[in-house]
Amino acid sequence: MKRIFAILAATVLAAAGCGGGGAGGSGNRLSIATGGTTGVYYVYGGGLAKQLSANIANTQATASVTSASVENIKLLASGKADIGFAQADTAADAVNGKDTFTSKQPVKAIARLYDNYAHLVVAPGVSASKAADLKGKRVSLGPANSGTQVVARRILQSAGINPDTDITKQQLSITEAVQAVKDGTIDAFFWVGGLPTAGITDLATSKPNIKILDTGDVLAKMQSTYGQQYSGHDVDLSSVYKLSGTIKTVVIPNVLLVPSEMSDQLAYDITRTLFEKKAELSAVHPEAKKLDVKLAQEVAPVQLHPGAARYYKEKG
């Protein structure tokens, strides 16, 4: 009898600790997969965790540090995370089972959030004015299993550079890459993130003679090779980071994803909280100001989760 009670107790505890249930049940513990600590995903995710915990009954949400897009989708698909930030190009690969993903991943979208911008940062004294000039140099492509690495490789390939043989490749997080530039151990690094990215703001302040390269010259090649998830934009990165010149770059939307099997009610509540608490999220990071009900539904080829779709239908 004691053994039966022990098994029943363990079952109840396990159920209480799982995400994906409906709000108002015995409790939801939601893990939000974000990115590095100096990127927008982590800051935005921390703000979202606070609002979900406060506004969905019996819910405790926490943001976790990850390598970002690719890892986040794998965590969602394996049941190790309940909500994840990802770039639209990586999400498209995931649902189509392409490139990094060997099979179609069971994820759906809550919303398109804001745009990411490709940053190609060059250390002081390094001679390079475009991506093609990085041949033979020490370059970080971003951490393994990150959306940054996906974009970095595609930018280099579009510029005629083999990222595996034509550069001395490193795989550093944004924090590690910033420090490596300060230490003089790399020549350049890629980062794909929202504006401003704190780590790059810090670097541009401490090393005002860094450069961020314009990557607009490879955009057409990327679009023809990899798809229309990539676009140009009228934002000038030089004004964001107080650098000289005009810097235009490749732009990639971000989406908020959940497992396909998440309950409709929980997905609805997450979507509702996201929009109802837009002001609070915007106070955490300005990229949340870009939340828009109409734009949020533009997540193809990823499908909207039915719970999210119900929220948007109610909003007309």
163 and 44 in a common domain: no
CA 75 to chain centroid, in Å, comes to: 13
What was the pLDDT predicted at 234?
Answer: 77
Identify the three-state secondary structure at position 10: helix
171 and 142 in a common domain: yes
Q: Which of 94, 105, 198, 209 is nearest to 147 (CA)?
A: 94
150 and 52 in a common domain: no
User: Domain with 135 in it: what CATH number?
Assistant: 3.40.190.10
268 and 143 in a common domain: no
240 and 132 in a common domain: yes
Q: Which of 126, 122, 128 is nearest to 140 (CA)?
A: 122
Domains in the chain, number: 2
267 and 195 in a common domain: no
150 and 97 in a common domain: no
How does pLDDT run across 166-189, given as a tens digit for each residue?
Answer: 999 999 999 999 999 999 999 999
Share of the chain above pLDDT 90, in %: 87
Give the other-Cβ count within 10 Å of 154's Cβ.
Answer: 21
Identify the three-state secondary structure at position 85: strand
Any idea what the Cα angle at residue 159 is, between residues 68 and 178, rounded to 5°?
A: 40
Domain edge (last residue) among 232, 252, 272: 252
Q: How far is CA 110 from CA 87, 104, 118, 235, 297, in A?
A: 13, 18, 23, 26, 8
Would the pLDDT of 158 be above 70?
Answer: yes
pTM, entire model: 0.86
Residue ranges making up the domain that contains 110 = 2-114+254-314
158 and 169 in a common domain: yes
Would the pLDDT of 9 be above 90?
Answer: no
Strand runs (DSSP E) across the chain, as ranges? 28-33, 59-64, 83-87, 107-122, 138-140, 168-170, 188-193, 211-212, 251-259
What was the pLDDT predicted at 147?
Answer: 93
What was the pLDDT predicted at 12?
Answer: 33
Instruction: Report helix angle 147-158 to 69-77, nearest 10.
Output: 130
**For the residues 195-215, what does the mean pLDDT come to?**
94
What was the pLDDT predicted at 70?
Answer: 97
Would the pLDDT of 19 be above 70?
Answer: no
Domain edge (last residue) among 213, 235, 252: 252
Would the pLDDT of 13 be above 70?
Answer: no
How does pLDDT run across 134-150, given as a tens digit for each residue?
Answer: 999 999 999 999 999 99
Would the pLDDT of 4 be above 50?
Answer: no
149 and 223 in a common domain: yes
How does pLDDT run across 238-267, given as a tens digit for each residue?
Answer: 999 999 999 999 999 999 999 999 999 999
What was the pLDDT predicted at 275?
Answer: 98
Rounded CA separation 281/283 (Å):
5
Residue 99, both tokens: 């490139």
**For the residues 278-284, what does the mean pLDDT come to?**
98
Rg (CA), the chain: 20
51 and 143 in a common domain: no
Domain edge (last residue) among 200, 227, 252: 252
- Of 10-14, 266-270, 284-288, the range with the lowest mean pLDDT is 10-14
- Give the alpha-carbon dihedral of 162, 167, 170, 175, to 10 degrees: -100
What was the pLDDT predicted at 294?
Answer: 97
Q: Exposed/middle/buried for 209, CB within 10 Å: 0-12, 13-18, 19+?
A: exposed
Rounded CA separation 252/40 (Å):
14
241 and 201 in a common domain: yes
Rounded CA separation 287/137 (Å):
33
What was the pLDDT predicted at 15?
Answer: 35
Q: Which of 241, 254, 285, 286 is nearest to 121 (CA)?
A: 241
Rounded CA separation 31/259 (Å):
12
What was the pLDDT predicted at 27?
Answer: 79
107 and 40 in a common domain: yes
Q: What are phi and psi of 6, to 5 degrees?
A: -65, -40
How does pLDDT run across 38-90, given as a tens digit for each residue?
Answer: 899 999 999 999 999 999 999 999 999 999 999 999 999 999 999 999 999 99
